[in-house]
C-alpha cells in the first residue's frame, strides 16, 4: 500500500538478509511508538510511502523493519540495496493494531510476524500463543528468539516442508484441529488478505465474537 505522509530522513544502521529475499533493515529509533504500529517508508521525501510494521520492541534503541522483496515492486528492490549510512525517509508511527497484556492469540503469515516480534520484545508475552504460517522452513523469521521464551506457545505451521517440532500443514488446518479456541480471548491476525480472511471465517464459525478479532492486512 502507498500513502502520503510527513516524512523525516534517517540513516541505515545495518541491513541483514535473514532468508532468501527477506531482509531486516535497522535505523536508530527517532520516536516512541506502541508495539504493533506501522510507519510509512520511502526512497525520497516526495514519493508515496509504503507501510511497514515496526518489528523491534518499544524500548529498543533501533527500529527493525522486516520485509520481503517484491521483484516488480517500486520500493522493496531499492530498499534491499541500501547499505549502512545510506538514507531513507520514514513517517512517525501510527495505527491501532497494538499489543496489550492478557490472554491472546498472535496469528501471522510470512512477514506478518513483524508486529508480534515488536509485542514480544516489548514484554507482552504472558498468556500469548503465537502461530506462524509459512510454506518453507526458512520463513519462520526470528524463530530462535521465540523458541527461547515461548516454548510450546509458539507453533510453526509449514505447508510444504517437514521438520521435527513443526506442524506439518497450513495454519488454517492447525486452527480447525484445535480443540479449544477460547471465545473470551483476543485474536490478532496479521499478514496476507487470504490468510486473514480465511482465519477470520474459521474463528467466527468456532464462536469467537467478531469484536475479539483484530486484523492487519498487508497489501
Ligand X SMILES: Cc1cc2nc3c(=O)[nH]c(=O)nc-3n(C[C@H](O)[C@H](O)[C@H](O)COP(=O)(O)OP(=O)(O)OC[C@H]3O[C@@H](n4cnc5c(N)ncnc54)[C@H](O)[C@@H]3O)c2cc1C
Give the footprint of ligand X on this chain (CB under 6 A): 1-2, 38, 50-53, 66-68, 70, 72-76, 111, 114, 216, 218-219
Q: Which is nearer to ligand X, 70 or 84 (CB)?
A: 70
Strands 186-191 and 213-217: parallel
Q: How far apart are CA 24 and CA 111, in angstroms?
A: 10
Q: Which is nearer to ligand X, 68 or 122 (CB)?
A: 68
Angle CA(102)–CA(103)–CA(105) in degrees, nearest 5? 130
Least distance in angstroms from the C-beta of 100 to ligand X? 19
* Residue of 5, 4, 19 lying closest to 80 (CA atoms): 19
Q: Which is nearer to ligand X, 110 or 125 (CB)?
A: 110
Least distance in angstroms from the C-beta of 149 to ligand X? 21
Least distance in angstroms from the C-beta of 143 to ligand X? 17
Q: Which is nearer to ligand X, 97 or 167 (CB)?
A: 97
Nearby residues of 73 by Cβ (< 8 Å), 6 or more positions away? none
Q: Which residue is nearest to ligand X (CB)?
A: 73
Q: How many CB atoms lie within 10 A of CB 106?
A: 29
Least distance in angstroms from the C-beta of 219 to ligand X? 5
Q: Grid coordinates in use for 132?
A: 506462524
Amino acid at each position: 500500500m502507498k500513502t502520503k505522509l510527513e516524512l523525516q530522513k534517517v540513516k541505515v544502521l545495518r541491513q541483514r538478509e535473514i532468508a532468501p529475499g527477506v531482509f531486516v533493515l535497522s535505523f536508530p529509533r527517532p520516536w516512541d511508538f506502541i508495539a504493533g504500529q506501522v510507519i510509512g517508508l520511502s526512497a525520497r521525501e516526495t514519493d508515496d510511502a509504503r507501510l511497514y510494521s515496526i518489528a523491534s520492541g518499544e524500548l529498543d534503541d533501533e527500529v527493525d523493519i522486516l520485509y520481503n522483496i517484491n521483484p516488480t515492486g517500486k520500493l522493496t528492490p531499492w530498499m534491499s540495496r541500501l547499505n549502512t549510512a545510506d538514507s531513507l525517509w520514514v513517517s512517525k508511527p501510527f495505527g491501532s493494531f497494538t499489543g496489550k497484556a492478557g490472554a491472546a492469540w498472535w496469528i501471522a503469515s510470512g512477514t506478518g510476524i513483524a508486529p508480534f516480534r515488536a509485542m514480544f520484545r516489548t514484554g507482552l508475552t504472558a498468556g500469548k500463543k503465537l502461530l506462524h504460517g509459512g510454506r518453507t522452513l526458512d520463513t519462520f523469521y526470528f524463530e530462535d528468539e521465540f523458541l527461547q521464551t515461548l516454548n510450546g506457545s509458539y507453533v510453526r505451521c509449514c505447508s510444504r516442508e517437514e521438520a521435527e517440532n513443526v506442524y506439518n500443514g497450513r495454519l488454517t488446518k492447525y486452527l480447525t484441529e484445535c480443540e479449544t479456541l477460547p471465545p473470551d480471548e483476543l485474536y490478532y491476525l496479521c499478514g496476507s488478505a487470504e490468510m486473514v480472511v480465511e482465519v477470520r471465517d474459521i474463528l467466527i464459525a468456532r464462536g469467537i465474537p467478531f469484536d475479539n478479532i483484530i486484523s492487519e492486512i498487508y497489501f
